Structure 1
């Protein structure tokens, strides 16, 4: 079997940032998959499942209620390695195109207080595995990166 595209990215040099992972066409429709890398793979500790799960709930809720991107959001969810998230949008986008959206989303995550949306037994298969304070922490940390993001954090390293 051939390696899938995401396994060809050099994870030894990859740093936190926002990267276009792939673009797929379905007829005339382009779907853009983003690699939202929040930690440096194999260098920093990965995020724990509880905060990843909380970020997933908050991010998905934010995106599916966003005035511009709600109808374009296909998926937002964690990477299995727990170093970041995938965001899949309908449309042909660059990393630069979505930085403003991600700034909004991560500020929402950083500042969120109260009941995590969908964190109830009826709504979620693992509702007890949540950590809002750590999700807030990661939201603040990634927001700081987004506020001063450089070109090398918007394109995969060679």
Structure 2
């Protein structure tokens, strides 16, 4: 059985940042790594869930919304995956989009998106303050990111 692409990355050398995980035709997967793997510094379920709601809402309301395919958490609790249509948005555009979404998320003043029993299967787990903190923290991590930094190191 073939190993999936994410299992070929040396997680002992992986640091927080934004990485190009794979290209499948025009679908491009980005590894949005928030914490260092295998250190116990995991994102809590409330952090993952809350950030997922805010990031996904901001991405799907951005000027590049038609390029956004999926945004969701990693099972290992160290970050998220972002899938985009690479025919609509190039690597530099994705970096700029994530930087802008982080700024918007950190400054967000509205209601927590999807925080009702009708909209979410675990709405009581959502915390806007946690989502805003993660937006601000990840925004700092990728503030000076470039296309050259998208490659995994090691």
TM-score, with structure 1 as normaliser: 0.88
- Residue 98 of structure 1 and its aligned partner are, at CA, apart by 1.6
Q: Which residue of 2 aligns with 1:103?
A: 99
Maintained 8 Å contact 1:20/1:94:
no
Bigger mean CA offset, 49-58 vs 90-99? 90-99
Displacement after TM superposition at 1:137 (Å):
1.4
Specify the alignment match of 2:12 in structure 1: 12
Indicate yes or no: 2:133 matched with 1:137.
Answer: yes
Answer yes or no: is 1:54 the counterpart of 2:50: yes
Instruction: Summarize the alignment of residues 37-116 of structure 1 with structure 2, pairs less than 5 Å apart.
Output: 37-43=33-39, 45-67=41-63, 69-92=64-87, 95-116=91-112
**Contact conserved, 1:34 with 1:95, CA < 8 A, in 2?**
no
Shift of 1:7: 0.7
How far is 1:153 from its partner? Answer: 4.3
Q: CA deviation at 1:108?
A: 1.8
Aligned pairs, number? 153
Counterpart Cα distance in 1 of 2:91 and 2:16: 13
Alpha-carbon distance in 1 for matches of 2:90, 2:150: 9
**SS of structure 2 residue aligned to 1:147:** coil
| Structure 1 outlier segments of 4+, above 6 Å | none
1:35 maps to: 31
Matched position secondary structure for 2:124 = coil
